[in-house]
Structure 1
Amino acid sequence: MASILTNASALTALQSLSATNKSLEMTQARISTGYRVAEASDNAAYWSIATTMRSDKSSLSVVKDALGLGAGKVDTAYSVTNDTVKIVNLIKDKLVAAVGASAADKAKIQVEITAFQLQLKTAADGAVFSGANWLSVDTTTGQTTPGTHDDAQIVSAFTRNAAGKIALQTIDINVQSVKLYDAFGTATNVEKGILDGLRLATSGVRDNTATAAAGGTVAATDGYAVSTLTVVGFNDTQIQQMLNVVDAAARELTDAATNLGAAKTRIDLQKNATQALMDSIDRGVGQLVDADMNQESTRLQALQVQQQLGIQALSIANSNSQNILALFK
């Protein structure tokens, strides 16, 4: 039936053209943004997953920065501790030279030992990175127990379990075991640092029963600290005890450097693992929401042809009404 009120052909052609235009707009949006799923209306499930994964990647980026900051603190303490071991060994060499030396020679040797002691304190005080110093501390305040330094924590991982609950993991540094000096005035010998804690002359171990030794007199509770020992006025027996003390301190310093080195290695490994995880998230998100540009370019060309054909079909359908006029001539 021919009608001038209802043009069924034109309506059909218009619907087809509208659908083509809609598909064309979608394809053009994918090409311009690069996303197949750019917002929730495109695919709610994929968009939700991708949004959560992007948020987790952002948190992992912060974790990576925290690991970098922690690595700087560990590197600083590690480097100074290594240098400290060398200087303490030099002090040990001077003590060996002091055995059997005259009083005048001991005074000269002490000048060198004092210089080494000052260098140890200067190096420890300067082992600061981002406001943190793990070698020269003051546990008077700010710690759970005064005299004992709390563990330093470095955020190392950000995880989300199957239920969506977030958890943070840390790498803990036992600062109490690596500190060299502690300014806390009433700290016990055991609580003090490796270099300023009094050590029993007999065992070389930091001990709360140790008392400062007096020159020329040997007592069972004689104690020495690497930071304050002096050979002036002390006999050969006491100097040999000092050697025992310095050697024990050197062993503790070696252990401290080992622990810091292990933490350094772990941080480096975790940084690499975090970066690999971030890359994996990028790939996973890309597979969910990225547009296949080869596919979209092919679809664009096809839709452009369909659009042209749709316009042509609509034009033909609209011209059908004009043909009705021929019936009245």
Structure 2
Amino acid sequence: MSSILTNTGAMVALQTLKGINTNLAKTQDQISTGKSVNAAKDNAAVWAISKVMESDVTGFKAISDSLALGKSTVSLSSKAAESVASLLTEMKGKIVAAQEASADKTKIQTDIAALTKQIDSVVSAAQFNGLSLLSNRDSATTYALIKTTVTGTGSVNVLSSLDRSATGVASASIAVAKQDLGTQAAAAGGLTLAAAAFTAAGTATANGAALATYTVAGETATAGRNAAVMAGDGYSFDLTKFVGTNATATGTALYVARDGDTTTDIAKNLADTINFELKKQGLSTDFTITASGATFTVQNNTATALAAAAAGDATLTAGGKAGGGLALVAKIDVSTTNGAKAALSAIEGLIQTSIKASSSFGSAEGRIMIQTKFVGDLMDSMKAGIGSMVDADMEEASARLQALQVQQQLGIQALSIANQAPQNILSLFR
């Protein structure tokens, strides 16, 4: 049945043409943007995933910049530490020369003082964007009773990654341990923790062996103190009690704990200080200190008899200033024979300190370089993954465009034919 009121053929042709035009517009949009999913309406799930990944790529780009900055900072610090090691090696040569009885020790000491100033200059200049990894003497509020102590901050974190989980995103960092190659002297704190911070007992025997055990007191959970070792604690030993039968020592050996120190660190550094100070005074000594918990065992390994130790031979104070890692350099004085001998015993350990610092920076720099490459590869993989989800297949889009253009022409032709049907009805009434 034919009708002049309802043209079914034209309606079908029109709907078909509309569908073709919609698909054609979509294909043209894919070709112009290069994306098959350009908005949430195209595919909400894929679009949401791609946007999250794109945000992560942006974040990793910032991380790549952070790693580049961190690498530059660590590289600069490593080269500075190597320079300090070279200066200390040069200083060692002069100290060795000072061992000769006929050497002009005064002039050699002048050279050593100049090298010490150069070390300070290198350490002061080793900064990148205001950050120095060779000076670890930052101030920090440590306890309620102590306003400020100089204890060091331990390490610097270099932003290295983003870790995404079901609950959110967390940042990850590479910790670069700060080193201290300064020559600043330590300073004991003004707050005495106990009237007799150490209790001690010791004996002297005929062959010179003496053993003193010092137990830290006052390290209770009061005033914010809850550990055996606290940054800023000053451990002082009275050298007048560590004397031989035929010699008298003077002064005090001091070590101030810095952030991250253990009792083992304190024991080693304090023993080095004791040995250096006593050898400068002409005493043949070889002190070792071992630590077990809060107990220090002080042992003299030479054949020099010691006076018996007693309570009060050592003191413990809080709120001190940590000394530089090369604090003994500033105390080197080869103008005397005993001073030259003490310097020779100390310089090797100082060189090892600088080498250790350079090695630590080298390891950190290597890790940063590995992480930088990984982040670059990760960004490339994420970009490829995003592309596989949202990018248009241009070959397929090109073929579809040509097919749809032909369909559009045929649709227009079909609509034109359908619109001619009423004209055919008119011929029946002629």
Shorter chain as denominator, the TM-score bin is: 0.7 to 0.9
State yes or no: 1:321 paired with 2:324.
no
Q: Could you list the runs of 5+ residues in structure 2 that have no partner in the other structure?
A: 144-148, 189-231, 235-254, 260-266, 288-325
More strand, by proportion: 2
Read off the aligned partner of 1:172 and give its amino acid letter: A
Alignment of 1:197-212 (within 5 A): 205-207=269-271, 210=274
Deviation at 1:209, TM superposition (A): 6.2
Distance 2:181 2:360 in 1: 14
Q: Which secondary structure state, in structure 2, belongs to the residue aligned with residue 173 of structure 1?
A: strand
Deviation at 1:141, TM superposition (A): 3.7
8 Å CA contact retained: 1:47, 1:289: yes
> Is the alpha carbon distance of 1:86 and 1:213 closer, same or farther for their aligned partners in structure 2, counting shifts above 3 Å?
same
TM-score, reference length from structure 1: 0.87
More helix, by proportion: 1
8 Å CA contact retained: 2:183, 2:330: no
Alpha-carbon deviations, 1:274-316, whole Å to 9, x = none? 1111111011111111100000000000000000110111111
**Number of equivalent positions:** 314
State yes or no: 1:140 paired with 2:156.
no
Q: Which secondary structure state, in structure 2, belongs to the residue aligned with residue 156 of structure 1?
A: strand
What's the counterpart of residue 26 of structure 2? 26
8 Å CA contact retained: 2:187, 2:256: no
8 Å CA contact retained: 1:117, 1:228: no
**Equivalent of 1:252 in 345, 353, 366:** 353
Alpha-carbon deviations, 1:220-273, whole Å to 9, x = none? 6999711342212x21x4312211211001112111111110100000000000
Distance 1:23 1:133 in 2: 62
Distance 1:215 1:52 in 2: 66
What's the counterpart of residue 181 of structure 2? 180
Distance 1:279 1:142 in 2: 44
Identity of aligned residues (%): 36
Distance 1:249 1:75 in 2: 21
Q: Which secondary structure state, in structure 2, belongs to the residue aligned with residue 152 of structure 1?
A: strand
8 Å CA contact retained: 1:37, 1:290: yes
8 Å CA contact retained: 2:136, 2:154: no
Alpha-carbon deviations, 1:7-46, whole Å to 9, x = none? 1111000000000000001000100111111111111111
Greater mean deviation of Cα atoms: 166-175 or 87-96: 166-175
8 Å CA contact retained: 2:134, 2:181: yes
What's the counterpart of residue 167 of structure 1? 170
TM-score, reference length from structure 2: 0.67
Distance 1:192 1:221 in 2: 25
Alpha-carbon deviations, 1:72-125, whole Å to 9, x = none? 11111101001111100100000001112447x112112211111111000000
8 Å CA contact retained: 2:183, 2:328: no
8 Å CA contact retained: 1:205, 1:245: no
Alpha-carbon deviations, 1:121-177, whole Å to 9, x = none? 00000010121011134323478973132321111111112x2532222111221xx
Q: Which secondary structure state, in structure 2, belongs to the residue aligned with residue 149 of structure 1?
A: coil
What's the counterpart of residue 37 of structure 1? 37
Read off the aligned partner of 2:367 and give its amino acid letter: R
Q: Could you list the runs of 5+ residues in structure 1 that have no partner in the other structure?
A: 194-202
RMSD: 2.8
